[in-house]
């Protein structure tokens, strides 16, 4: 995989290529998460709707909501009768949670904590654990004990899964606001390859230093990037 192919693969916006009959010929990592929630045909129809009338590239701006996603634009590339390509642009947003606390947080390496949780769960699980880390993420303030607790509960929820992918990424264009200041978001996403219900998953902490969200086959921990 060359530099440009890798760059497309880790893009935080969904990128999908379709054949003329709507079959997916390529989807990057973010598109695969989207496809676990949205039907393939719905995305193909959306692509055709916004395709240029003749061969070429066209970008359309809109306000589109799909499940828990919000998009502000779509680019469709149409060069021949055999294939068509699309890219959806996720809307930038600011997550506000004035109740988030920095109490009991210390500068910590998040990869060490995730590795520790995975190593513990591997002993009692038959699932294959895949790790997708952004190595550029620095150490930052984390309530380590609460983070490990939440992550272990997530893995327990997906105990019937055949494969679990844990991604640690920096969210582009999204922020958590604390005490009037915007902080970038470090997101830990655990995605299950097997259909597992998240309805019974519940995590509460009165002094939470992060936000936990669930959506069908993925549970996410969003943490503010505070390094000082």
Q: What is the CATH number of the domain that holds 36?
A: 3.30.450.20
Last residue of a domain, one of 45, 73, 91: 91
Residue numbers of the domain that contains 167: 95-224
Average pLDDT value for residue range 33-54: 90
Residue range 27-36: average pLDDT?
Answer: 86
Q: Are residues 70 and 134 in the same domain?
A: no
Instruction: Examine the domain organization and report whether 118 and 87 are in the same domain.
Output: no
**Average pLDDT of the residues in 30-38:** 83
Tell me the mean pLDDT in the region 156-167.
91
CB atoms within 10 A of CB 200: 6
**pLDDT score, position 36:** 75
Q: What are the pLDDT digits (tens) for 179-212?
A: 778 888 899 999 988 877 777 788 877 678 898 8
Each residue's pLDDT tens digit, 54-106: 999 999 998 887 765 778 899 999 989 999 999 999 876 554 444 688 888 99
Total domains present in the chain = 2
| Residue finishing a domain among 28, 61, 91 | 91
Cβ-count burial 140-164 (b if 16+ within 10 Å, e if not): bbbbbebbbebbeebbebbeebeeb
The residue-averaged pLDDT of 153-181 equals 86
**Please, what is the average pLDDT of the chain?**
87
d(CA 208, CA 123): 28
Return the pLDDT at 96: 47
């Amino acid at each position: 995989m060359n530099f440009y192919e890798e760059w497309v693969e880790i893009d935080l916006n969904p990128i999908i290529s379709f054949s003329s009959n709507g079959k997916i010929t390529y989807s990057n990592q973010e598109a695969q998460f989207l496809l676990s929630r949205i039907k393939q045909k719905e995305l193909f129809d959306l692509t055709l709707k916004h395709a240029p009338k003749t061969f070429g590239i066209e970008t359309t701006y809109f306000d589109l909501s799909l499940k828990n996603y919000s998009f502000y634009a779509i680019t469709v590339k149409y060069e021949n009768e055999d294939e068509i390509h699309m890219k959806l642009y996720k809307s930038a947003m600011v997550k506000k949670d004035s109740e988030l606390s920095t109490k009991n947080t210390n500068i910590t390496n998040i990869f060490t904590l995730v590795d520790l949780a995975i190593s513990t769960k591997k002993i009692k699980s038959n699932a294959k654990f895949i790790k997708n880390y952004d190595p550029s993420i620095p150490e930052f303030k984390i309530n380590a004990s609460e983070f490990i607790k939440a992550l272990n509960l997530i893995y327990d929820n997906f105990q019937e899964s055949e494969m679990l992918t844990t991604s640690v990424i920096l969210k582009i264009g999204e922020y958590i606001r604390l005490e009037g200041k915007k902080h970038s978001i470090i997101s830990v996403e655990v995605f299950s390859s097997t259909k597992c219900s998240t309805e019974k998953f519940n995590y509460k902490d009165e002094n939470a230093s992060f936000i936990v969200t669930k959506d069908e086959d993925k549970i996410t921990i969003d943490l503010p990037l505070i390094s000082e």
